[in-house]
């Protein structure tokens, strides 16, 4: 059975692969329609994570986009992931992805650091118990 990766892992992989593309946008010779919407390759991401490409697409489009996309006061929809923006297909709104990933990283650390410290404290307690 294939592993089921977290949203954090998928977003981190997208960020890792496409950060340089986002930064290297050239207004004089644009490689895509806009700077903030970066086209991604779900198959490449899936291959790197050992997943089916439809899982990556589905998680981005049906889950993460619904969870993190929003509507502005003027009614404009801001999508984390869109099937198409202009002539670009399968795009992520990179600044929003960056913010969402930062939140996921913060939550991960908020959970793992106390857990790690608790395991260390428990280890010291067990060692002290057996040394008495």
**pLDDT tens profile 68-111:** 999 999 999 999 999 999 999 999 999 999 999 999 999 888 88
Q: Architecture of domain 7-102 in CATH?
A: Orthogonal Bundle (1.10)
For the chain, which residues make up each domain, given as ranges?
7-102
Nearest in space to 96 (alpha carbons), one of 81, 83, 84, 80: 80
Cα(52)–Cα(49) distance, rounded to whole angstroms?
9
Assign residue 5 a region (left: φ > 0; alpha: ψ between -120 and 50; beta: otherwise). Answer: beta
Question: Which pLDDT score is estimated for 100?
Answer: 97
Mean pLDDT over the full length of the chain: 92
Is residue 132 predicted with pLDDT exceeding 80? no
Q: At what angle do helices 7-23 and 42-49 cross, to 10 degrees?
A: 130
Question: Which pLDDT score is estimated for 12?
Answer: 97
Q: Report the DSSP beta bridge partners of residue 29.
A: none
Greater confidence, 112 or 52? Answer: 52
Sorting pLDDT into bands at 50, 70 and 90, what band is 44? Answer: very high
Planar angle of CA 84, 90, 94, nearest 5 degrees: 100
């Amino acid at each position: 059975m294939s592993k089921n990766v977290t949203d954090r892992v998928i977003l981190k992989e997208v960020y890792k692969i496409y950060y340089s593309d986002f930064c290297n946008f050239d207004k004089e010779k644009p490689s895509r329609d806009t700077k903030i919407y970066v086209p991604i390759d779900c198959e490449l991401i899936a291959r790197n994570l050992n997943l089916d490409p439809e899982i990556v697409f589905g998680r981005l489009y049906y889950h993460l986009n619904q969870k993190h996309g929003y509507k502005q006061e003027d009614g404009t929809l801001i999508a984390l992931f869109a099937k198409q923006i202009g002539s670009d297909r399968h795009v992520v709104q990179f600044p929003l992805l960056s913010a969402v990933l930062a939140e996921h990283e913060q939550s991960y650390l908020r959970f793992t650091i106390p857990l790690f410290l608790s395991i260390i404290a428990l280890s010291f307690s067990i060692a002290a118990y057996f040394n008495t």
